[in-house]
Amino acid sequence: MSYDRWLEAPYQEQADYEDWLEDRVNELMKGECDPFKEQNIVTAIYEDCLISKDGDLEQFADLMAKREVTALGRMVFGRIIDYWERQAENQAIEDWAKGNRD
């Protein structure tokens, strides 16, 4: 191995990992972590994805009181997508750690 390759090896390994991780997350988001599946919507809501930080409950209540259904829908759907993206990323990281790199 040449000197340059030796220096690049850790960076290439990290780049390979990041590429694999991104591909795996995308794969999971199209399959088992698809936020458009009815069961996944219910699961995300059941797991309290809607109230993830301080002020969320007040924001939901405010939007409901004002009957701003479009903004409320965007907020709800955004939280569901965020939930499943986190789940997919966690699953991908776990797969990598277990050596499941198909």
Look at residue 102 in the predicted model and tell me its pLDDT: 67
Domain with 54 in it = 3-98
Spell out the alpha helix ranges (H) of 1-102.
3-30, 38-46, 56-65, 69-98
Q: Mean per-residue pLDDT for 87-93?
A: 97
**How many domains are there within the chain?**
1
Residue 13 backbone zone (phi > 0: left; psi -120 to 50: alpha; other: beta):
alpha
pLDDT band at 3 (very low <50, low <70, confident <90, very high): low
Q: pLDDT tens digit string along 9-59? A: 778 888 889 999 999 999 999 999 999 999 999 999 999 888 877 788 888
Please tell me the pTM assigned to this model: 0.82
